[in-house]
Amino acid sequence: MSPKPTGHVSGNDLILTRTFHAPVADVWTSVTKSESTALWFGRWEGVAGPGKTVRLQLLHEKSQPWTDVLIEECAAPHRLVVVMKDDAGEWRIALTFTQTGDTTELRLVQHLSDPKLAGDVGPGWEYYLDMLVAARAGKALPSFSDYYPAQKAHFLEGV
């Protein structure tokens, strides 16, 4: 059974959120430290900072490719904006971290050149964010085949 998709499209923006019972600094570390990102997305190397480029290895993609990631903005621990370029085009991803009480919300926004791309991109982000949730909880990682193509129609509704 496919996990229920949570993201939506607003204009050309693909928007997904996850909530964690943890301080904002802890969630920030899960998304920015190479040892942590390797558990759910990919490891990266280089010197990180605004205006700098690091190399990211996408560990859960076929052939585990490396890609360059430009860090456009970094306001730890509340906002991170990165740009990745690959054969599929340019991926500008804005992450916002907001702590309220003992919970932190992670909001991911990817601006799409065409909202119809959300049918392919949305299930991937659902998968990766659920990987983050599972890695933080020490649980088994989900399988991408549970997300795509099962969630494609959800992201194309109203587009």
Where residue 118 sits, what CATH number does that domain have?
3.30.530.20
Number of domains present in the structure of the chain: 1
In a domain, 3, yes or no: no
**pLDDT tens digits for range 38-90:** 999 999 999 999 999 999 999 988 899 999 999 999 999 999 999 998 777 78
- Whether the full predicted model's pTM is greater than 0.85, yes or no, is yes
What the block records as the tokens of 90 is: 């340019």
Domain that holds residue 92: 11-156
Strand order in the sheet with 66-75: 8-10, 13-20, 103-111, 89-100, 79-86, 66-75, 53-58, 42-45
